């Protein structure tokens, strides 16, 4: 695991964007795994600047990690909408090459299998962008998710529902309680993983993911088993790592 600590979220995002850009330079038909949430937003904004300066992602393919069950795709907070708004448009991706799990599908099991097959047909994910939940989840793999779990419907943890309630301000509209998510096993098959975490509220999850035991209680800890993971953290998210890891530097 490499850890790159930057002073603030914008610098963190810029550093992560350069890692993604250099992967795209090496392979124009890059298969990118994309995450929602606030953490990767500075990454996408920095990458959009590089795209406007000439980086060409039009041949890249993208797979989102997850989607809510029970939200129409055109709901502004569905991950179909979020990915279209925050990723596809600013990065000038080809919308036909951007995939999001079909959360509202009548047969969610079939939708999950179809998603796994689509990733396999694309040749697997070259570079997966990840955030992390305050409870250590990746995608929507909540505590208790197995290392070999695959794309499936999950029930969201109370902590996740509380964290996500900031996006659902209309009291008449409850926060979704279920999602279709790539599994931990699906995510770990990406050839390279870039995780972005910023803010003191992520410090405990990061410390447990990096220095704690590998356990289903902290799904992000399974990343310790992956051969090519880089964590891009700001000072606050790195603040509970042991001092040798949390200094603003690159650690092997
Ligand atoms: C959601 C997403 C995760 C994301 C997490 C953290 O739960 N499914 O992929 O990592 O939010 O979000 P944020 O970066 O906004 O804290």
173-203 pLDDT, tens digit per residue, is 889 999 999 999 999 999 999 999 999 999 9
Quick check: 218 and 209 in contact, CB under 8 A?
yes
113-168 pLDDT, tens digit per residue, is: 999 999 999 999 999 999 999 999 999 999 999 999 999 999 999 999 998 999 99
**Cα 162 to averaged position of ligand 1 atoms, centre (Å):** 12
Side-chain-facing half-sphere of 11: CA atoms under 13 Å: 12
C-beta separation of 194 from 232 below 8 A: yes
Q: What is the distance between the alpha carbons of residues 103 and 204, in angstroms, rounded to a whole number?
A: 30
Alpha carbon distance 128, 65 (integer Å):
9
Which pLDDT belongs to residue 252? 32
Flag whether pLDDT at 235 surpasses 70: yes
The reply to whether 67 belongs to the active site is: no
pLDDT of residue 247: 65
Determine contact, residues 3/98, Cβ cutoff 8 Å: no
- When pLDDT is cut at 50, 70 and 90, the band that residue 251 belongs to is very low
Give the strand pairing for 192-197 and 229-234. Answer: parallel
Q: Catalytic annotation on 251?
A: no
- Of 10, 77, 16, residue with least CA distance to 42: 10
116: annotated active-site residue: no
- Alpha carbon of 249 to ligand 1 centroid (Å): 25
Is the distance from CB of 153 to CB of 180 less than 8 angstroms?
yes
Q: Is the CB of 160 under 6 A from ligand 1?
A: yes
Torsion over CA: 252, 36, 146, 204 (sign): positive
CA distances from 176 to 1, 17, 49, 134, 156 (A): 33, 30, 33, 18, 8
Question: Is 66 among the catalytic positions?
Answer: yes
Over its C-alpha atoms, the chain yields an Rg (Å, rounded) of: 17
Q: What is the atom index within ligand 1 of the atom nearest the CA of 130?
A: 10
Ligand 1 site, residue 36, Cβ cutoff 6 A: yes
Selecting among 67, 102, 116, 137, the annotated active-site residue is 137
**Band of pLDDT at residue 249, cut at 50, 70 and 90:** low
Mean pLDDT score, 22-36: 96
Q: Quote the ligand 1 centre to 176 CA distance (angstroms).
A: 14
Rounded CA-CA distance 182/219 in Å is 13
Share of the chain above pLDDT 90, in %: 88
Ligand 1: which of 13, 36, 159 to mutate, most ligand atoms within 8 Å of CB?
36
| DSSP-derived 3-state class of residue 143 | coil
140 lines ligand 1 (CB under 6 A): yes
């Amino acid at each position: 695991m490499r850890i790159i600590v930057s002073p603030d979220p914008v610098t963190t995002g810029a550093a992560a964007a350069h890692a993604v850009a250099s992967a795209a330079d090496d392979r124009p038909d890059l298969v990118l795994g994309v995450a929602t949430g606030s953490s990767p937003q500075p990454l996408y904004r920095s990458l959009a600047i590089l795209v406007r300066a000439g980086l060409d992602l039009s041949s890249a393919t993208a797979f989102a990690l997850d989607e809510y069950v029970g939200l129409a795709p055109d709901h502004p907070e569905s991950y179909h909408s979020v990915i279209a708004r925050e990723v596809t448009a600013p990065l000038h991706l080809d919308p036909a090459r951007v995939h999001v799990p079909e959360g509202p599908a009548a047969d969610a099991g079939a939708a999950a299998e179809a998603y796994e097959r689509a990733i396999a047909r694309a040749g697997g994910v070259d570079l997966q962008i990840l955030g992390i939940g305050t409870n250590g989840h990746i995608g929507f793999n909540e505590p208790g998710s197995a290392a070999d779990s695959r794309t499936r419907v999950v029930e969201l943890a109370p902590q996740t529902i509380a964290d996500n309630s900031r996006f659902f301000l209309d009291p008449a509209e409850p926060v979704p309680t279920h999602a279709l998510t790539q599994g931990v096993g699906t995510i770990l098959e990406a050839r390279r993983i870039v995780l972005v975490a910023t803010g003191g509220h992520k410090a405990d999850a990061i410390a447990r993911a990096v220095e704690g035991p590998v356990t289903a209680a902290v799904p992000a800890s399974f990343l310790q088993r992956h051969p090519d993971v880089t964590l891009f953290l700001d000072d606050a998210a790195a603040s509970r790592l042991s001092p040798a890891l949390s200094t603003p530097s690159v650690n092997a």
